[in-house]
Structure 1
Amino acid sequence: MQYKGSCHCGAVAFEAEGELSGAMACNCSICQRRGSLLWFVPRTRFRLLKGEESLTTYTFNKHAIQHRFCKVCGILPFAEGKMPDGTPMAAINIRSIEDIDLDGIPVQHYDGRSL
């Protein structure tokens, strides 16, 4: 299935393809504060439709994940990094996806604080 999403102001828009059967809530120092629900897809199944110039990037700790924020409204629609096997991935904040029922998506809790 194909999903579309954006930041709050619409300066950044994307689409992703895959089966959205669940999301992850992480308790690491950034995710806990941000409140994102993350869905991981191979980077080849993610496409930025507009807004590269409106994005800024934040990294911390091991600098393994590039957290991509809209410079206009501050929303993080996605992050980029690598899967454990080295495959490039996008971590999509499902809260930024259009027309989905968040209550219908199972959420797995991840203890990122312990890493």
Structure 2
Amino acid sequence: MTMRLHHGSCHCGTVRFEADIDLAAGTIQCNCTLCTKQRNWAVIVPRAAFRLVHGDTALTEYRCNTRTEQHLFCATCGVRPFGYGSSPRWGAYVAVSVACLDDVTDAELAAVPVRRLDGRSDTWADM
């Protein structure tokens, strides 16, 4: 496990965060309609490994389907840098948008494992 401190932000920089992430452990892409339309690519981190540095008041929340996950986006630029959730597999987690990590190179991203989740069939937790 190679845990590394990563920094991230929305497009306009109003929302900024940092998280301890092991990208080599893998990322996820879900095929539910929301994730598909957003082209969401996320890395799951425990809530204790995530810190919102700036922009709490700029975040707007959207909840869909079961209304259990908080999909958060910047009210200024509209980018969704992360969201909060809870599952039997991960416990309380933060789904960090890989595209919002400011200190990851294209070469690093090309080497990151990706696991596909089947949210469209509502079996994403089984994958």
Out of 103, 118, 122, which is 1:111 matched to? 118
Normalising by structure 1, report the TM-score.
0.94
RMSD: 1.2
Matches for 1:17-96 after TM superposition, within 5 Å: 17-21=20-24, 22-84=26-88, 87-96=91-100
1:8: which partner in 2? 11
- Structure-2 separation of matches of 1:80 and 1:60: 13
Distance 1:56 1:99, change over 3 A: same
Deviates more, 1:4-13 or 1:101-110: 101-110
| Deviation of the 1:83 alpha carbon | 2.9
| Deviation of the 1:99 alpha carbon | 2.5
Moved over 6 A (4+): none
What percent identity do the matched residue pairs reach? 41
| Deviation of the 1:18 alpha carbon | 2.6
Normalising by structure 2, report the TM-score.
0.86
Distance 1:3 1:59, change over 3 A: same
Deviates more, 1:58-67 or 1:93-102: 93-102
Distance 1:8 1:109, change over 3 A: same
- Structure-2 separation of matches of 1:42 and 1:86: 7
What are the superposed Cα offsets for residues 39-69 of structure 1, whole Å, 9 maximum, x if unpaired?
1111010000000011000001101110010
Distance 1:109 1:57, change over 3 A: same
